[in-house]
Structure 1
Amino acid sequence: MTSNSDTLKPTFTPEEIEALYFNTARQGEIELLAEFIRAGMDINHQNNEGHTALILASYHNQLSAVELLLEKGADPNIIDNKGAAALTGVAFKGYIPIAERLIKAGANVDSENNLRRTALMFAILFGRNEMVKFLLQAGANPNHTDGEGLTPLQLAENQGDAELIQLLQKQN
């Protein structure tokens, strides 16, 4: 005979648990995210696209979730299937407070994606001038060459952004 509590106990597949975990990070639900971590969820677990909870929380501007994940040992240098680390998504979105936390936690400021583009290059391509300034101050390489042979200065020139061109020329 089964007890009433056994018949009411919800069961989730590993895929459903993973989806809930990643949605929790993406939406910045701190209490639930902390519960997943306490329950033993691998903090650096990657989904089928290579995203970690930290990558998703960063990309969706969930500063409190980012701080919790970093505090609990999330690796800021894990890359997704496209070679992008958390800092890459933050750079093209322009989320400086999250970029600061990631770099403070040891994120490689010059991490390259599969096209050899860095966070600095993405910030340039998406017109995130304040992020460009921040990344340069954080030590980003202004002379890096991507997979197409382009430097940050050349990308800024292609974008026609006079402010960034001037800024990057001063770096050389």
Structure 2
Amino acid sequence: MTASAQTPSAPLFAAVEQNDEATVAKLIAEGVAIDGRNADGETALLAATHENRAGIARQLILAGADVNAKDRIQDSPYLYAGARGHLEILKLTLTHGADLKSTNRYGGTALIPAAERGHVDTVRTLIDAGVAVDHVNNLGWTALLEAVLLGDGGERHVAIVGILLDAGADPSLPDREGVTPLRHARQRGFQPMVELLTKAGGRE
């Protein structure tokens, strides 16, 4: 979270790094360039989101910070909060203009990495917000495929598979090799997922 000393926003990044909410509030009141960038192309809001500093993120968002501003690797506060399960910040971005169709550097929506990483409440929140459940990323994977392929088969990923299916995810949408979620689940011995996918009409 390095800030360039030459940028007008440097004091804001320093305050975010120190988790200094009072200074952030002062700088906002003084009219700091709220969406100024650091050397990595991050805004202060994205820097705060990286550290899950919800108090500072709230201040910045309420002051008008852009929740969709992307850095050099195509992360935005909205996308990063969703991917990492930073639920409080995610909900703030969703009520302040988050672009549900925006995608990360892998061509995936926020829902896909949330499903992969087992963030159950985040997956539910994103679906409720209207993120497309069957979006396919650049790897050819949906959120459902990632929950099966990259999950651990445990309780959280099983719950996510159920949530995605209940939300209308296609249980038979295959990867680029033509392998369906059901076949992947069976190959991995993830029996609870196999049962959910079979009940939803999934094909091998």
Moved over 6 A (4+): none
Residues of 2 paired with 1:10 and 1:80: CA distance? 28
Q: Runs of 5+ in structure 1 lacking a partner?
A: 1-8
Residue correspondences, number: 164
Residues of 2 paired with 1:14 and 1:166: CA distance? 48
Q: CA deviation at 1:69?
A: 0.7
Q: Give the TM-score normalised by structure 2.
A: 0.73
Q: CA deviation at 1:54?
A: 1.4
Larger relative contact order, structure 1 or 2 (CA cutoff 8 Å, min sep 6): 1
Name the counterpart of 1:15. Answer: 38
Q: CA deviation at 1:44?
A: 0.8
Name the counterpart of 2:174. Answer: 145
Q: CA deviation at 1:123?
A: 0.9
Is 2:45–2:67's contact at 8 Å kept on the other side of the alignment? no
| Percentage of identical aligned residues | 32
Q: Give the TM-score normalised by structure 1.
A: 0.85
Is 1:27–1:57's contact at 8 Å kept on the other side of the alignment? no
Name the counterpart of 2:200. Answer: 171
Is 1:26–1:62's contact at 8 Å kept on the other side of the alignment? no
Question: Which protein is richer in helix relative to its size?
Answer: 1
Q: Runs of 5+ in structure 2 lacking a partner?
A: 1-6, 11-35
Q: CA deviation at 1:19?
A: 5.2
Is 1:27–1:62's contact at 8 Å kept on the other side of the alignment? no
Residues of 2 paired with 1:129 and 1:57: CA distance? 22
- Quick check: 1:110 aligned with 2:134? yes
Letter in 1 for 2:55: E
SS in 2 for 1:121: helix
